Amino acid sequence: MRKKLETRQLITALLSAVAVIALIYLAQRLLIPKYVDDIVEGGMVSEYYDEKDKSFDVIFIGDCEVYENFSPVTLWENYGINSYIRGSAEQYIFQSYYMLEDTLRYSRPKVVVFNIQSLQFDESRSEAYNRMTIDGMKWSGAKLGCIKASMTDEEHLIEYIFPILRFHSRWNELTSADVEYMFRHKKVTHNGYYMRVDALPAGDMPPVKPLGDYSFGDRAWEYLDKIRTCCEDNNIELLLIKAPSLYPYWYPQWDEQVKEYADMYGLKYINFLDEKDAIGIDYNTDTYDGGLHMNLSGAVKCADYIGPILRNEYEVPDRRDDEALASIWADKIRVYNEDIDYQKEQYGIE
């Protein structure tokens, strides 16, 4: 009799606990930002995990200067390069390192392309950007390391483990999208590429402010070393680039330091700003925000520039013969073209 009672109590307790946990989980799913409407940058990182075949030969890591400036579809169509951009808003260099570590959990690329603009930041400047990069990552040692490296003073690890603690006060900003995308994700990129088809010619840039000290911080260097040794240890070629963004201004003194570093370790470093004529960038038609980032036309040109380098100098294979892969890409290209048509209609472009 007593035993029976105890079993019943135990079952009730267990069921109750499950119910409470389920409710908290639902509340959490509802309350965390979905990044589907205005702010899509927070939705990029998690998209990678949805890829059926993650055997990419080229991985881009970095901030908006990678995810807005290269079209992986062009790299596939013209060169048969299977690539993915693991970029996110203001991805700091330590976050890029952990993004690389996270990517290596799934497959080992031949080449990693890293955009070095984030060398200028030694630590996180914004809690919100931390969340947009980190929340999308799947749980692993890489994510934990990324959190620890990124946290600002006002943040707590527990708020990453239970995001509801961070986002609970979003209850008064909930929209129908929060219900719609509670359990699914709306794709916002094409293999990590954030596409824009509209154009806004580059005008006058803000005056260049001289800096007191041009040397990059120790922590930034430390993580560049980590990225480099990680690539070395995994037999991956590391290619350093600076995207052709006119602003924020890229100081020649910074460029020098990167060149020195590249020379010291025998790495290739391409400053796309120096190559803009060779690439054929027209800042009147190839940017959508006045020279900060490329639009589709610019991103295609940049891809067409880096494609041959990847194929010839790094021997990245042409995989268009791979039927399974080709069919995956065929689907991607279809979505890509639909997006182009949709955006052209949105922006009223011929």
Partner 1 sequence: MLFTSYGFIGSVLILFLLYYVIPKRLRPALLLVFSLIIYGMADARYLIYIGITVVTVWYAALIIDKNNKAVKDYIKKHKAEMSATERKAYKKLKGRKSLLFFLAGLVLNLGILAVVKYSGFVLSGIGHMLSSGTDGVLNIPDMLIPLGISFYTFQSVGYLTDVYRENIDAEKSLPRYALFITFFPQLVQGPISRYEDLAPTLLAPHSADFSVIFRGLQRILWGYFKKLVIADRLLMGVTTLIGDTSLYRGGYVPVMMLLYTLELYADFTGGIDITIGIAETLGISIKENFIRPYLSTSLADYWRRWHISMCSWFRDYVFYPVSTSNASIRLSKWARKHISDSAGGKLPVYLSSFIVWFCTGIWHGASVNFIVWGLLNFLVLTISEELSPLYERFHKRFSFAGSFPYRVFMILRTFLLVCVLNLFDCFADVRDTLGLIVSAFNFGSYSSMEKGALLNIGLSVSDYVIAAVALTAVLIVSIIEERYDTSIRDIIRKRPYAVRFILWTCLFLATLIFGVYGIGYDSSQFIYNRF
Residue 168 near partner 1 by CB under 8 A: yes
250 class by beta-carbon count within 10 Å (0-12 exposed, 13-18 middle, 19+ buried): buried
CB atoms within 10 A of CB 327: 10
Assess contact for 110 and 75: CB atoms under 8 A.
no
Site for partner 1 in 205-244 (CB under 8 A): none
Show the binding pattern over residues 1-40: x = contacts partner 1 (CB under 8 A), - = does not: -----------x---x--xx--xx--x---x-x----xx-
Using only C-alpha atoms, the chain has a radius of gyration, in whole angstroms, of: 22
Contact stretch for partner 1 (CB under 8 A) within 48-56, 155-163, 250-258, 274-282:
155-163
Q: Residues 281-320 vs partner 1: string with x where CB under 8 A?
A: --------x--xx---------------------------
Least distance in angstroms from the C-beta of 222 to partner 1: 24
93 scored as a contact of partner 1 (CB under 8 A): no
**Residue among 167 and 216 whose Cβ is closer to partner 1:** 167
**Bridge partners, 193 (sequence order):** 190
Is residue 127 close enough to count as binding partner 1 by CB under 8 A? yes
Residue 206 phi, psi dihedral angles, 5° rounding: -60, 150
Shortest Å distance, C-beta 275 to partner 1: 22
User: Does the protein bind partner 1 through residue 164 (CB under 8 A)?
Assistant: yes
Instruction: Report d(CA 291, CA 286) in Å as an integer.
Output: 8
Q: Which is nearer to partner 1, 144 or 292 (CB)?
A: 292
Residue numbers at the binding site for partner 1 (CB under 8 A): 12, 16, 19-20, 23-24, 27, 31, 33, 38-39, 41-42, 64, 89-90, 126-129, 131-132, 154-156, 158-159, 164-173, 247-248, 289, 292-293
